[in-house]
Amino acid sequence: MTTVKDLRPHPLDQVHRLIEPGPVILVTTRHRGVPNVMTNGFNMMVRHAPPLIACTIGPWDHSYEALVETGECVVSVPTAEMAATVVDIGNCSGVDVDKFEEFDLTAVDGEKVQAPLVAECFANIECRVADTSLVAPYSLFVLEPVPGLDRSNAARPAPVPSPRRRHLHARRPDRRSQGPHDQVAVPSVSPPILWTLETRPCPEQ
């Protein structure tokens, strides 16, 4: 019989690797006229409808100041083909480099926020900061997708998969699947702006 003494201890500073959330996303901001994009792996859905998204973005991130001052951003879902680019984006700082130029990304003006959309991404969700009460203790921003139209293409490339979620599909934000224990009605509200744009080739790494 296996007992706890047979198990190997795991260092506390590595716990996040066991349960780290997904998928990996890009978060764009525009601060004093300058666009920036960062890679973010600490994120989650908070509520179905109206939808809320939470992201951990701290003072160590160049995007933190922009998000605090402007209160808005775009959550961009990269495609699987962008995986190498997403890693490289996360390994450099917007203080030192224009990431849109460095990684040949196309910045598209948003409809409701100043932060740019990323044309190469599978989807772009324009957001405004809805709650900052968890920013000081946990660097956790609660974001609310801005009401608007759902714009999508007929052909959609696959997003970057999460190792824990083997089936990830794009859906209109005002729809959700309901199980036997999930019978809460979705209120009749305008869906958030969800832009899905045709992908373009990524620069060679």
* Single-letter amino acid, residue 16: H
**Per-residue pLDDT at 17:** 74
Q: pLDDT per residue over 195-204, tens digit each? A: 544 434 433 2
What is the CATH code of the structural domain delimited by 24-160+188-195? 2.30.110.10
pLDDT in tens, 161-187: 544 433 333 333 343 333 433 333 333
What pLDDT is stored for residue 22 in this prediction?
66
User: CA neighbours within 13 Å on the CB side: how many for 22?
Assistant: 15
Q: What is the pLDDT of residue 6?
A: 80
Give residue 172's pLDDT. Answer: 37
Q: Give the pLDDT confidence score for residue 171 in this predicted structure.
A: 35
Q: How confident is the model at residue 158 (pLDDT cuts 50, 70, 90)?
A: low
The gap from C-alpha 48 to its chain's centroid, in whole angstroms, comes to 15
What ranges make up the beta strands (E) of the chain?
A: 25-31, 34-40, 43-47, 52-56, 72-77, 107-108, 117-118, 123-131, 140-145, 150-151, 194-195
Name the nearest CA neighbour of 173 among 187, 155, 184: 187
pLDDT tens digits along 1-38: 887 788 788 788 877 777 765 689 999 999 999 999 99
Average pLDDT rounded to a whole number, residues 86-97: 95
pLDDT range class, residue 105, cuts 50, 70, 90? very high
Q: Where are the domains of the chain?
A: 24-160+188-195
| pLDDT tens-digit readout, 28-86 | 999 999 999 999 999 999 998 889 999 999 999 999 999 999 999 999 999 999 999 99
pLDDT at 20: 67
